[in-house]
Amino acid sequence: MNRKQFFLGIILASAVGALVALAGVNYLMKQNTASSFSQKQDTSLVNWLSDDKFVIPDGINFVASAEMVTPAVVHIKSNVSVDQSQMGADPFEEFFGFRNPNRGQQPREARSSGSGVIISEDGYIVTNNHVIENASRIDVSLEDNTRYTARVIGTDPTTDLALLKIEAKALPYVRFGDSDKVRVGEWVLAVGNPFDLTSTVTAGIISAKTRNIGILRDLENNLQIESFLQTDAVVNPGNSGGALVNLAGELIGINTAIASRTGTFNGYAFAIPSSIVKKVMDDLLEFGAVQRGLLGVQIRDVSPELEETLNEKLYTSKGVYVVDVNEGGGGADAGLKAGDVIIGVDGVETNNVAKLQEMVARKRPGDKVEVKYLRKGKEGKTTAMLKNISGDTKIVKKEPPKVLAFDGLTFEDVNTGVKQRLEIDGGAAIVSVENENWTKSGARAGFIITSIIGSNGRTKISGAENLIEVLKRNKGEEIVVLGLYPNGQEYYFEVKVD
């Protein structure tokens, strides 16, 4: 059995679909005064028992933890676009390559589901990126069946995490725990919505720590971080984004993947540790984007096989071998060299690549880390300043997109990541459609308009503001709207501009 067969059991709670609309312009600047979830969670003791009051009953009892956590684990349902076959030909299709809604079936909306965890009383929710990726609409249901429409604050594919927001107050939430203190053999609970079975709790133990299963490989310049907690608590499709908690009801991980030959639980599940989750959530809350501090080295696990390949003695059976050092990076500035073996960061042993990546992923550009290493068997220490992917220490904020309205429609600029993925250099995404004429013509939230064909010919759309200008120029006329969905499916429709 090969590695791919064993480890490609990720809980895909969502399919490729349409673009998430980020409404509420400047929300973070206007309404959010806390810059971290430690501050936000300290504002209330909702659904929480402090350390001095929480006592684990005699024997193993999961009731207290389950009762604390279950109300704060939500059911997430996403609308995604699914392509369908069509019949016949159309001159627009032949010339432009776009689907005509009047020939064959329109792209239909499918529903997919997963889980999420409320982490503040004012409605911030952590989930997996793959649960909400490319969704045109995100619905959130609480345990009491109260329902909300969520918007995306930010996502990080490199850790498979996303931060959502619903407009609510005084919500129950799960307090962050310390995944560093979790021990192998410790009892844990997994809470989520497997197979649409809401508010499901399962129990197990921590089977291992710092697991790298290669499930996020080849993402965004190979900056993916995998340092999973492994558990035997039962986790299945739909549990993605749900909570892994200790017996004190503290969040120690976000359930993300399973090792399976069948796609369902076979004994091992994997959760992103809270040490990474909290840092990513704080970054998305404060900046709208994750701030990645990089050591600037290419690395591999120390192993007998590596020694054999190198034909070199490494003087240790565990650690992280430095294959190469990037010129101008933090590691190079600190004096690290190819052939060094990193054995610790900030006083914590780094026995493998996963642990080293986890320790560095907690930092931001400009932060300093103490690195312990072996060089030809001799131990050394150095201090490295982490840099971003651009090679400097700047913190980059992601500004919320402008949301502009026109005649019952709202539009926003397409974010850089979506443009790069779809290989387009402009366009405007539909945020909402409350115009009956446009709805009947086939306009859908999430659709990206790239061109308009009117009486003056074809006009390329650079952004939301440009689109509204073009629509105003064509007021009262029939136009052809060309574009594509975030899954890459091209499409067009004809509509009269009122």
Catalytic (active site) residue 75 = no
160 labelled catalytic: yes
240 is in an annotated binding site: yes
Of the residues 14, 75, 130, 413, only one is catalytic, namely 130
260 annotated ligand binder: no
239 annotated ligand-binding residue: yes
Among candidate residues 139, 156, 160, 282, the one labeled active-site is: 160
Would you call 130 a catalytic residue per the annotation?
yes
Catalytic residue among 115, 179, 240, 451: 240
Beta bridge partners of 406: 409
Active site residues: 130, 160, 240
Q: Which residues are annotated as a binding site for substrate?
A: 130, 160, 238-240
Binding site feature residues: 130, 160, 238-240
